[in-house]
Amino acid sequence: DAIDGGRKDICIVSALHNFGLFETHDIMKETDYYISLDAGPITLPEMTEGGSGAHEEQWYWDRTKDRVLITTIYGNHELLTKWQGKIFFFQQSWNSPKIKTEVFDSGIVDIKRLPDFATGGNVLGAALYFARAVLGGSNMIFIGADFCFSYDHKFHSWDSGYDAQFTGLMPCTDIFGNRVYTWPSYYNFKCWFDFIACGGQSQQAHMFINATEGGIFGAYPEGCIKQVIQLDLDNALKMFTMH
């Protein structure tokens, strides 16, 4: 209720993987943008996975007609075909000769394209850059940016195939000082976000609020870095909707 009734001008940008969960349970009503990076077939089952079989697959595709998808020009073809709402494309480098010649100059595809922006190699990084570079957002509230398994070895808030892959992990410290486990690749993502929070290559100041209420974003054995404010979601929203 705090999100749907009081978020006012707070824009919601979500990974497409959350679509099934959000749409089934109305957790984030009228999410502004869903963003996807994957070009492979994994995109399709992941889109409905969070719904835990509550509806037939077509129900989710029908829900897309009022949603906006942000994806790359290399996005999964079946996803782009099934999506019924608006689609906007982005690319890290629109100056690629292959893209320019085969897509734009050919006139085969009439697409709506966004300004160039980076991704950090992950969909949350793409959401961050989209929110800052395209939407012009200044204050970022992260939800679900845990980058690790939970204490009971779950990787998402629903049962998924990732839960069974609790192997090849490294120990790390969460924001409460507890030991948790993650893959080295996801620890690398966490370090990238910490680097961006500290200014990145441009040394541009940010205001990052982590309302994940757990996970390893900004956390180290010595404590949490000051550039990432750790808050529960309720109080994070109250900061921006008090009036």
DSSP three-state, residue 122: coil
Placement of tokens 């999100």 in the chain: 3
Structure confidence at residue 111 (pLDDT): 56
Structure confidence at residue 5 (pLDDT): 53
**pLDDT-based confidence at residue 101 (cuts at 50, 70, 90):** very low
- For 108, other C-beta atoms within 10 Å of its C-beta total 9
Cα 146 from Cα 190, distance rounded (Å): 8
> pLDDT, tens digit, for every residue of 118-142?
777 788 999 998 898 888 888 899 9
> pLDDT, tens digit, for every residue of 14-62?
999 999 989 988 876 678 899 998 888 888 888 888 887 878 999 999 9
Is a pLDDT exceeding 50 seen at residue 109?
no
> pLDDT, tens digit, for every residue of 151-191?
988 888 777 777 778 889 999 999 999 999 999 999 999 99
Cα 99 from Cα 118, distance rounded (Å): 17
Which burial class, exposed, middle or buried, applies to 168 when counting CB atoms under 10 A from its CB (0-12, 13-18, 19+)? exposed
Structure confidence at residue 220 (pLDDT): 97
Cα 122 from Cα 81, distance rounded (Å): 23
Q: Would you say 48 and 20 are in contact if contact means Cβ atoms under 8 Å apart?
A: yes
Cα 228 from Cα 231, distance rounded (Å): 9
Is a pLDDT exceeding 80 seen at residue 78?
yes
Listed in order, strand segments (DSSP E) in 194-234 are 207-210, 219-220, 223-224, 228-230
Q: Rounded to an integer, what is the distance from CA 239 to the centroid of its chain?
A: 22
